[in-house]
Structure 1
């Protein structure tokens, strides 16, 4: 049987098992990752274009031209 050290409740020692075999104490949650893994650069660029268009920084024509260049 493997014994793990116990230094008392929540002493800021990540990864150690707490009292009575509870889950590890003071461990932050894992970072959020999109379901499909990393975001595709093309999708990121299209979202950025859409955001600029919605905010009014790109006209309809500028948006259409930039989108066509990305998708070509």
Structure 2
């Protein structure tokens, strides 16, 4: 399972690095820079997604409390 996750992450980085390479006019010899930049972007994206998921339970608790307050007799 972890191997598949790493392969998926590598695929995302590879695609993003390719997009960066294309955007920069396909320069030669910049593959490591493009890979590192893409890796950083993907990592930041993953941190953001994790932060959003971590915030959801608190949001859900607030929603449930508000719903209960409205439904209380």
Considering the TM-score relative to the shorter chain, is it more than 0.5? no
Higher share of residues assigned helix: 2
